[in-house]
A and B are shown apart, each in its own frame.
Chain A
Amino acid sequence: MNVLQNVGIGSAINRVDGLQKVTGRARYAAEHPVPGLLHGVIVSGAIPKGRIVTLEDSEARAVPGVVEVLSHKNRPHVAWFDRSHKDMVAPPGSPFKALYDDKILFSGQPIALVIAESFEVARYAASLVRASYEVEPHNTDFHKAQAERFMPSKKRDTYHPPKNRGDADAAFAAAPVKVSAEYHLATEHHNPMEMHASTVVWEGDGSLTVFDKTQGPQNVRDYLAGVFGMSASTIRVMNPFVGGAFGSGLRPQYQVYLAVMAARMLQRSVRVVMTRQQMFTHGHRPEALQSVQLGAERDGTMTAIRNSATTSTSRYENNMEDVVIWGMMNYACENAAGEYAIAPVDTATSTDMRAPGAATGMTFFEMAVDELAYAAGIDPLEFRLKNYSETDQMNGTPFTSKALREAYAEGAEAFGWSRRSQAPRSMKEGRELVGWGVATGMWDAMFSKTSASARLSANGHLEVASAASDIGTGTYTVMTQAAADTLGLPVEQIAVRLGDSSLPKAPVEGGSWMAASVGAAVQLACRSVAEKLLSAAAKMQNSPLAGASMEAVRFSGGRIALRDDPARGVAITEVMRASGTDVIAVEETASAGISGMISQMRKSRNTHSAIFVEVRVDEELGVVRVTRVVNAVAAGRIINPKTARSQILGGVVMGISMALHEESMTDHRYGRFMNHNYAEYHVPVNADIHDIQVIFVDEPDPEVTPLGVKGLGEIGIVGTAAAVANAIFHATGKRVRALPITIDKLVDDTVAP
């Protein structure tokens, strides 16, 4: 058996944590048993803006079993300065501090925490807390907020301003073929299955173990240390399993702050779990307005791009996204201008949600490209190929790789695009109008400095560890495969530890960088183990490996053997025994290095995709079915085709969701999201999802990251909603420019075709 082929990088092994998950042995943040645990229930505020005048908690305190009611009136000390409340991915501004004072910044803001000996008592007592408010004028209407549109002087670290080229205004004015359209995206909430939850274990000596729903245990640890003035060494944050997050767990949420505050005050262990309704009181994908003007020659050559967008933020922090750059990078067009700003509303701060910026901005750009292709009378795929760019047009740099052309070709072939007829409403079957749409997806291929340790025991068991997170993405499996690949050990002999702030340093799980980054770190650590093993093996008596270099040997099936003569080798356990070694333990850090940093300046690094969608729309009733999707992805080297496919499937489903379902509906009188539950905030169910085919096109790219891996967490959603919307146009002749495309927009005869 060749271990390398079966479990290493590139093999479709099952998720190594799958059994734990399906048998319920995987424990999530609210599931860790702790003796003597107290339960905190959050009381949410009712108004969007103003201040708390009275907070009546005597009735709650009178309930037997209630231990404390925390509010701004009696909370213990927290840090004064904003900088102490900033987490490592916080946008510029003044972070929200729960129970800090009497000010109300958004509807549903936590105003008290009721702590009791049982969850039931805490919940009941929380219903007895009464607040009265002094209400101040507020605005949650994003269209009205356009009047306050602005560009903050201090930008978010991750923000990339658009770089203009040529003279887009003149080119647009002169273009013989042009389109100009306004697009709107409704606010979306991440709505992972698992609610935000924290179980804080009071360790007696003042130190804390915190089981938290987060995408970054070290981010939460450092945040808590700052807020409560603790030494980071006295806080251990654990998130071994996370029930989805999609970005909602990048920043520490207020339940962990409240739970730690209560635990320290009461010197007891405390658990706080948000309700589903409270999941609508923190980060969300910002509402967006985007205006796209495109011009072309009559032959379809793009001549002008004007791309402008606004996204929503709160009054207290300035969240920004890269919305307008994607189309400017992707297409060959001599004149391009981008413009972006934010507008504040009285809600919690918007936050990153799967492919932040691109999911919004590339989707709308790709809807506009479809409109331009139709204006020019050219097949939308042909139009994209005609304006294809091998280089990053906005930054004027080459890509480390861009196999988008291959993705278009393989996707179109699998989908049968050549059988499409161009005219809208031309592919009817029975009562259903059939529509085929195409769009392009694009995301960053990022790499983030990450450390990992490896520990090989005498019995041949290996443990690799990093403070990375697995939010359902497959990090456990990826780390296992990177280790198996390097040391040639079977999966059963490899244990992965992650989701623990005490492990070697890792970034938050976000941006699709985790597989590339932690994979490289594990590989480095395991390579270091391998070197030590080889050195020990070479010293064995009559060693067949004496004098052999790392390049001359191969680690496979638990052995080290000569590449040229695999019969000559020794078992790893034998090397350990012979050298009297109990343990080989190393820690290594993978970073871009000098050459990587130079490459990052000189080349663009991106994933690309081509999405083909078939919809069937009941002509009379406006009922949409997405019957086929082909998503062809160019994402460098694929570590595990099975978990990789899962990532894309999830992204596609979320893209369909964005196109047809997701919308947090606000009552602007109350400044409040109203459909705050799973019954009324719609995501697709099985009946809505049909055939989805995922293709990974060949894209060798040794330069992009150490393993040649680009990451897959986000690319699956980018552009998918555009392909659905474009297919709906092809089916119905209607351009619906506000997502989600709900049934009312398709049966409403006032929506102009």
Chain B
Amino acid sequence: MNRFSFTRANSVPEAVRAGGGADTRFLAGGTNLIDLMKENVERPSALVDINRVGLAGIEERPGGGLRLGALVSNADTAYDRRVAERYPLLACAILAGASPQLRNAATNGGNLNQRTRCYYFYDTATPCNKRNPGTGCGAIGGVNRIHAILGASPSCIATNPSDMCVALAALNATVRVTGPDGEREIAFADYHRLPGDAPQHDNTLRTGELVTAIDLPDEDFSAHHTYLKLRDRLSYAFALVSVAVALRMEGDRIAEARIALGGVAHKPWRVPAAEQALAGQPASAENFDRAAELLLRGAQGQGHNDFKIGLARRAIRRALRQAAAGTPQSQTDKRIA
């Protein structure tokens, strides 16, 4: 293990003061960071333990909606009554991920910042632009069945592994951060980024910035939603393709649609045109196909993951059907509805 300093912050300002270095990492649940340190992928010079800075509650926002503290565990978030009733899509997505033990330890802020599960990122004997910028992308031309079909670049075809973030993207959440220059809010769509020629950056956080909370807007998609995750076994595997859908229905017609894809890109994938194409339309197979086509426009396989394009199309269709029918995918009975 690399040598690093360890400090424990007792408040957010203290954490921000301690967390200014480029090689400094905030430590919360540690479910991903510690693994990566053991594998020599992350080699921080300093760790700042933020588990005692607060941020551990779920609160009503003054103007409506919920604020999820960055240090609330994924499990406590999913099982919070307000989340489960008003944002069941988020609860479902969280429960689709990892295992109960991991969800108990992992935090909301950490979930946003978890790194890709690309084999090459994890294996220090192979090239990886995300781990070591400039060394090349091992996955291109390599083993890439879990890799991106959308928004990839010649430098990186990694995917974001989170389930929670796919739901947050669909729900138009806002990420609240505090840094050396003060507080700011980042729209969820702008939080994660595409790899471009700087795949070492997963998101748009600036050096030293700490995620403090995730705000959920006061919107109700509880009647028509689903989180459909397809993977290589029925639990405890990262998504090959996942689909978060939130619909507002007016009779048989879709008044508003939100669709986000997971497992297919460097960030949760949303296409406004696909959502607009559904607005005001009946929930029909043709319209679902049209949305899938728009969502997957420009999709490109890398060889082993070519199947993801067809699989995503099928998954989008099914998820839209589930959401429109008000029969969300169960996360406990693994049978696909």
Q: Which residues of A contact B (CB under 8 A)?
A: 44, 46, 107, 120, 123-124, 127, 277, 431-432, 616, 618, 620-623, 625, 660-661, 665-667, 669-670, 672, 674-677, 679-680, 682, 684-688, 742-744, 747-749
Contacts and interface: CB of A to CB of B under 8 A. Distances in A.
Given A686-B235, A688-B234, A677 B122 contact: yes
B318 A621 contact: yes
Contacts of A744: 145, 307, 311
B284 interface: no
B336 A680 contact: no
18 contacts: A44-B125, A123-B1, A127-B40, A431-B336, A616-B335, A618-B336, A621-B315, A622-B311, A669-B141, A669-B142, A670-B126, A674-B120, A676-B119, A685-B233, A685-B236, A687-B236, A743-B232, A747-B314
A661 B1 contact: no
A672 B3 CA distance: 29
A620 B310 CA distance: 11
Contact of B310 (A667, A674, A747): A747
Contact of A749 (B2, B230, B236, B310): B310
A620 B319 CA distance: 12
Contacts of A625: 234, 334-335
Given A670-B138, A672-B123, A744-B307, 6 more contacts: A124-B1, A618-B336, A675-B119, A682-B233, A687-B236, A747-B311
B311 A688 contact: no
Contacts of A669: 141-142
Nearest to B332: A687
B315 A661 contact: no
Give the one of B40, B123, B142 with max A CB within 10 A: B123
B61 to A, nearest CB: 35
B14 to A, nearest CB: 27
Nearest to B161: A679
A672 B126 contact: yes
Contact of A688 (B120, B235, B318): B235
A277 B35 CA distance: 13
A166 to B, nearest CB: 43
Contact of B143 (A660, A666, A684, A747): A666
A625 B230 CA distance: 13
Nearest to B238: A679
A281 to B, nearest CB: 11
A466 B334 CA distance: 46
B119 A674 contact: yes
B237 interface: yes
Contact of A682 (B141, B232, B335): B232
A209 B145 CA distance: 46
Contacts of A120: 1
Mostly, the A contact residues are loop
Contacts of B234: 623, 625, 685, 687-688
Interface residues of B, number: 37
Interface string B226-247: 0000101111111010000000
A688 B233 contact: yes
Contacts of B335: 432, 616, 625
Contacts of B237: 679, 682
Contact of A747 (B39, B307, B334): B307
A680 B125 CA distance: 17
Contacts of A123: 1
Contacts of A679: 117, 237-238
B192 interface: no
Nearest to B240: A743
B115 interface: no
A623 B143 contact: no
Nearest to A128: B2
A31 B143 CA distance: 36
A679 B161 CA distance: 12
B129 to A, nearest CB: 16
Given A667-B138, A749-B310, A743 B143 contact: no
B128 to A, nearest CB: 12
Contacts of A742: 232
Give the one of A625, A687, A749 with max B CB within 10 A: A687
A537 B130 CA distance: 79
B226 to A, nearest CB: 13
Contacts of B314: 620-621, 747
A744 B311 CA distance: 8
B103 interface: no
Interface in B128-153: 138, 141-143, 145-146
Contacts of A107: 125
B117 to A, nearest CB: 6
Contacts of A749: 310
Contacts of A682: 232-233, 237
